[in-house]
Amino acid sequence: MTISVSAVRTTHWILTAQCPSRLGTVDVVTRFLREQGCYITEQQSFDDSSSCRFFIRTEFRPPEEGEFDAGAFEAAFAERAAPFSMAFELTSPERLTPVVIMVSKADHCLNDLLYRYRTGQLPVAIKAVVSNHPDLAPLAEWHGLPYHHLPISAETKAEQEAEVWRIVEDSGAELVILARYMQVLSSEMSERLAGRAINIHHSLLPGFKGAKPYHQAFEKGVKLVGATAHYINDDLDEGPIITQGVEPVTHADTAEDLVARGRDIECITLARAVTLHLQRRVFLNGSRTVVFQR
């Protein structure tokens, strides 16, 4: 299936940067853009006093006359950024980020992502769908996407993850989305995917672990259901948080109502986190994140 990118095209480029906190960090960005004749359309910055790190995200419109030379822009800005030890990234407005999606049996998050992909809401190029079950193959195939059924057991975990990594590497995927992939990644795999894999899971208070968490929550009479999207790390469901969603429920809601509400929140929260990542609005800041909301 060929996806049109017209829905995600814009003339605005994105410049993101971070560096140690010091005087002149905003000026080095804004002054350079002004000298290049670029018009800033959106800018957000944050200085974290606890880590002494500075973060900035700028959208800008290049001069209308002539062709914008991204390579020359990067080379010139690198000279300005060097005295600040500033790491930066320039992102093209037409770039589609290559991704791999991992799932198990639940289809709600995958279905939502594929709809947003098909309609051009997500600027991605989905390279593959990987699952430890065969159930969702028809859904991926209907979208014209390769589906890799890779069963897993305690005995085959290392081999299965090696194949997953091969798919990620061979496809050039820069982001892995765990759309309700119900397997715990190994420490080695988590380290390889640090900062480039987003997971979604339910977020209930109090916390409920094990099977049927929403049914457990119903038995306790919870009044809120929610979801958390985060980058993965070696601590199960405790990676740097990107975004969270929550919705009130009442005594009148059944266990099945809670499950349905939870699915909706998971879809919305995961899609929001992926969008923020794709728009270069998320910065890793140690075990936390800096997120520039739109």
Residues 43-96: pLDDT tens digits?
999 999 999 999 999 999 999 887 899 999 999 999 999 999 999 999 998 889
Q: Which member of 47, 107, 237, 264 is catalytic?
A: 237
Give the mean model confidence (pLDDT) for residues 178-195: 94
pLDDT of residue 23: 96
Q: Does the pLDDT of residue 3 top 80, yes or no?
A: no
Is the pTM of the predicted complex or chain greater than 0.75?
A: yes
DSSP assignments along 48-89, one per residue: ETTTTEEEEEEEEE--SSS---HHHHHHHHHHHHGGGT-EEE
Local structure of residue 292 (DSSP, 8 states): -
Q: Is the pLDDT of residue 138 over 80?
A: yes
Residue found under tokens 């985060």: 230
Contact yes or no for 118/1 (Cβ under 8 A): yes
CATH superfamily to which 13-91 belongs: ACT domain (3.30.70.260)
Torsion of CA 239, 260, 127, 125, to 10 degrees: -90
CB neighbour class for 242 (10 Å; exposed up to 12, middle 13-18, buried from 19) = buried
Tell me the domain boundaries of the chain: 13-91, 97-291
| Closest alpha carbon to 111 in 84, 89, 80, 138 | 138
Least confident of 43-57, 163-177, 231-245: 231-245
Question: Considering only CA atoms, which of 34, 33, 37, 55 is closest in space to residue 46?
Answer: 55
Task: Give 252-290 pLDDT, tens digit per residue.
Answer: 989 999 889 999 999 999 999 999 999 999 999 999 999
Backbone angles phi, psi at 88, to 5 degrees: -140, 165
Judge whether 234 counts as a catalytic residue. no
Homologous superfamily, domain 97-291: Formyl transferase, N-terminal domain (3.40.50.170)
